[in-house]
Amino acid sequence: MKYLDLFSGGGGIALGFEKAGFTPIALIDSDKDCCKTLGFNRPNWNIICRDIKDINFNRYNNIDLITAGIPCQAFSYAGNKLGLEDTRGTLFYEVAKAVTHTNPKIFIIENVKGLESHNAGLTLKTMVTVFEDLGYTVNYKILNAMNYNVAQKRERLFIVGTKANLNINFKFPEPSDNILTLKDALIDVPESAGYFYSKKRYDILKLIPPGGCWRNLPIHIQKQYMGASYYQSGGKTGIAKRLSWDEPCLTLTCSPSQKQTERCHPDETRPLTIREYARVQTFPDDWDFQGSISSQYKQIGNAVPVNLAYAMGKASLTALQTHHH
């Protein structure tokens, strides 16, 4: 199977698809640390460390599959024709261009769940229209990683296009009945580097029980620690959050110790380490991240969890194989 991996990042999609039986003909990312990680672990992979705008996609024509974990806001819908021209100068435009040049049988785009409602749904509608105009049948679905053997609540939008004239039948993977907990994910996790808390932060977080957050602090400490956000309503459960052993982890972000998205270890008063982060994202222990600690956290936090990518890879393989017969 010939497949192309765009915005490869730390390798979540590539590893999942490798496990499903795909070998990439090229992986493209402009981030040097990501490319170092990919090359260090898979010296035989063809890694192209360049901006997607500078890639000539004509030499990859008629491929089976393209995957693209487009970084969050691919574009804000700006035009009025719901067409490709309206997306010029954006990463989405580059992906659509790549699809035009390579003519894949299937493409898969991963993005944040918020894309579905972004700009009252117009952004997503534009993307769908652009691909339909290019001759694809497009379906999308929000998948939660915890339903696909990942010990993490993480919802992401997957947009799948199949060449309309080939009658490819892509079915989104079936959710698993078995929900993994943080305890399952971190059994025998190897030692590794990680962040530490400042004394001030440590003294506050050590007051939080497993599964708890800022609400478990005495009121005067809540006000002091949270400042202005104490008085704002909504979405604050990530503040001073300590994880719980017996449920899936909360969504990992680019850093385990941002004040709004705290990911404190259940027992010890510290952020999750690099290898713990990697376990929660279902990277194998021998997948070695390169670059600074903060770059490693970012590569892991931004990735598509390997097991979720694997489920999408198997679904793609099934769709392509049935089509070939």
pLDDT at 61 over 90: no
Contact 107, 315 (CB under 8 A): no
Q: What is the pTM of this model?
A: 0.95
Residue bearing the bigger pLDDT, 296 or 84: 296
- Can you tell me which residue has the tokens 């390997």? 306
Mean pLDDT of 99-114: 95
Residue 277 pLDDT > 60: yes
Q: Please tell me the distance from the alpha carbon of residue 307 to that of residue 316, in angstroms, as a whole number.
A: 14
Residue 94: in which H helix or E strand, if any?
A: helix 91-102
Q: Is residue 167 over pLDDT 90?
A: no
pLDDT recorded at residue 297 = 97
pLDDT in tens, 247-262: 999 999 999 988 788 8
How confident is the model over 68-89, as pLDDT tens digits?
999 876 677 666 777 888 888 8
Helix (H) or strand (E) holding 5: strand 2-6
**Position 230 pLDDT exceeds 70:** yes
Taking 80 as the threshold, does the pLDDT of residue 214 lie above it? yes
CA-closest candidate to residue 140, choices 153, 120, 119, 155: 155
Q: pLDDT digits over 193-212, tens only?
A: 999 999 999 999 999 999 99
Q: What is the pLDDT of residues 111-153, one digit of tens each?
A: 999 889 888 888 899 999 999 999 999 999 999 999 999 999 9
- Residue-wise over 210-248: b if at least 16 C-beta within 10 A, else e? eebbbeebeeeebeebbeeeeeeeeebebbbbbbbeebb
**Looking at residues 272-279, what average pLDDT do you find?**
98
Residue with the larger pLDDT of the pair 237 and 23 = 23
- Give, as one character, the DSSP assignment of residue 85: G
Establish whether 72 is a catalytic residue: yes
| Average pLDDT of span 161-190 | 96
Task: State the pLDDT confidence band at 325, using cuts at 50, 70 and 90.
Answer: low
From 72, 213, 249, 264, the catalytic residue = 72
pLDDT digit string, tens, across residues 26-47: 999 999 999 999 999 999 999 9
DSSP 158: E
**Distance between CA 249 and CA 270 in Å, rounded?**
15
Q: Give the pLDDT of residue 249.
A: 96
Which domains are present in the chain? 2-174+305-324 (3.40.50.150), 182-302 (3.90.120.10)
Say what percent of the chain tops pLDDT 70. Answer: 96
